[in-house]
Amino acid sequence: MTAPPILFDRPALTRARNRTLRRGQDLFLHEALADEIQERLIEVNRTFTAPAVVSGFPEFWGKRFPDAKQVADNDRLDLGESQHDLVIHALCLHWANDPVGQLVQSRLALRPDGLLIAALFGGHTLQELRMALAEAETRVTGGLSPRVAPMGEIRDLGALLQRAGLNLPVADTVPLTVKYESLDHLIRDLRAMGETNAMAARLRHPTRRAVFDVARQIYADNFTDADGRLTATFDMVVLTGWAPDPSQQKPLRPGSAAQRLADALGSFEIPLDPKSS
C-alpha cells in the first residue's frame, strides 16, 4: 500500500493553534458542535463509561467532557485497542492527511458496540470566501494558489465509515450561517479558531494586498444580506457509526420477507408471464 499524500503542514497547523491559545480562543463552532453531540448522546439513551475525545483543543473539550480521555489529533492516535465505548473525533478530521486511517484507529479503539461520532467541515464550508479569493487572485495574479483545504461532500464522507469497518453508518449535516461586518472580521475569526491556511502546497510568501482588496469587493457585491452584513457558511458534517457486535440489527437477505408488499398496500398483484420477457 502506498502512503497517503501529505496535504497538510502539521507544524504550521500546530503553530496556528498555539497562537489561538496565547491570544484567546474563539471556538463558537466547537461550542455549537459540543451542544449538538451532547443532544445526540441523550437520544442514544446509553451511559458511556470510557469515552475519549480526539481534538486539537483538549482544554475546551476537557471542560465539556470532563470524564473523557483527551487525545491529540496526530497521525497516530494515542488510543488503546478496545479501550473505549465512545470516541468523539471533534472537528479536526478535515486536517487529517489520512482521514480513513483516523477512522480506522478510532474504530479499533472502540469496544464491541461502541459508538464513534466524528465531525468535520464539509464541502459547502466557506464557499463564499473561496469564491471571492479565487476570483480575486485570478484577476490580480492570473493564477490560483492553494488556500482552503479540500472538503468532502456528505455522500463521500459517509462512505468513509464503511471503509473504516463501522456498522450502521449515518452522515448528516449541521449547517451554520454566520454574519460578519467585513471580510477582515471573518479572517480574524478563522485565525482565532486556528483554521488558517496550513496546506503543504500553500504559498510561502505574503499574499499581495491587492488580492484582498479585490476579494473584499467581490465578497461584498455577492454575499451581503439586507442589513449590509456578510454571510459565511460553515457546513459541519457529523459521521456516526458503531463498532461491530453480534447484537446489532442486520439487514434481511433479499427474498426473506415474511409478508407480500401487495398485501400490505391492499393492492392487486398481477403475476408476470415468464414467457413474455
**Segment 230-251, tens digit of pLDDT:** 999 999 999 999 999 888 877 5
CB of 209 closer than 8 Å to CB of 127: no
User: What pLDDT score was predicted for residue 74?
Assistant: 94
pLDDT in tens, 178-213: 999 999 999 999 988 888 888 877 877 788 899 999
Q: What was the pLDDT predicted at 251?
A: 58
Banded model confidence at residue 7, pLDDT cuts 50, 70, 90: confident
- More confident site: 46 or 258: 46
Domain range list for the chain? 10-128+151-204+234-245
Mean pLDDT of the chain: 88
- Using DSSP bridges, classify how beta strands 110-121 and 69-72 pair: parallel, antiparallel or unpaired: unpaired
Give the cell for residue 269. 398483484
Supply φ then ψ for residue 275, to 5 degrees: -80, -15
What pLDDT, on a 0 to 100 scale, did the predictor assign at position 38? Answer: 96
Using alpha carbons, select from 74, 88, 232, 95 the residue that is nearest to residue 151: 95
pLDDT of residue 203: 77
Nearest to 233 by CA among 93, 130, 90, 119: 130
Q: How far is CA 210 from CA 132, 137, 181, 271, in A?
A: 13, 9, 20, 71
Please identify which residue in the block is written with the cell numbers 502506498.
Answer: 2
Domain 10-128+151-204+234-245: give its CATH superfamily: Vaccinia Virus protein VP39 (3.40.50.150)
- Distance, CA of 199 to CA of 157 (rounded, Å): 20
Looking at residue 274, its pLDDT comes to: 54
For residue 244, give every residue at least 6 positions away whose Cβ sits within 8 Å of its Cβ, in sequence order, or none. 112, 165, 166, 167
Yes or no: say if 79 and 109 are a contact pair by the CB < 8 Å rule: yes
DSSP state of 272: -
Sign of CA dihedral 97, 101, 103, 108: negative
Beta bridge partners of 173: 237
